[in-house]
Structure 1
Amino acid sequence: MDGPFISPLYLRYIQADFLTDFRLKTGVFPKLDYK
């Protein structure tokens, strides 16, 4: 029944996971180093 339908929660989880990974690679650690 689900077929090609992807639930919004799943998409939101994917987006949040991607954003977290992106921050870890780019923004968070350099900002922590400024301390």
Structure 2
Amino acid sequence: CVCVFVCAGLAELRAKFEEDKQRIRKLKDTRKFRPY
């Protein structure tokens, strides 16, 4: 059923979104220590 694929895709997108947020947070932290 299509719903299963949609749910799996949403979960994957959500996981990637969380990773991106953490990555951005790390970038902001490093930027604090080394302002350009």
Q: How many residue pairs were aligned?
A: 27
Q: Give 1:21's match in structure 2, choosing from 18, 25, 29.
A: 25
Counterpart-to-counterpart distance in 1, 2:18 and 2:35: 24
Counterpart-to-counterpart distance in 2, 1:22 and 1:8: 21
Unaligned runs of 5+ in 1: none
Deviation at 1:15, TM superposition (A): 0.2
Identity of aligned residues (%): 7
TM-score (ref. length: structure 1): 0.59
Q: Which has the higher helix share?
A: 2
Unaligned runs of 5+ in 2: 1-7
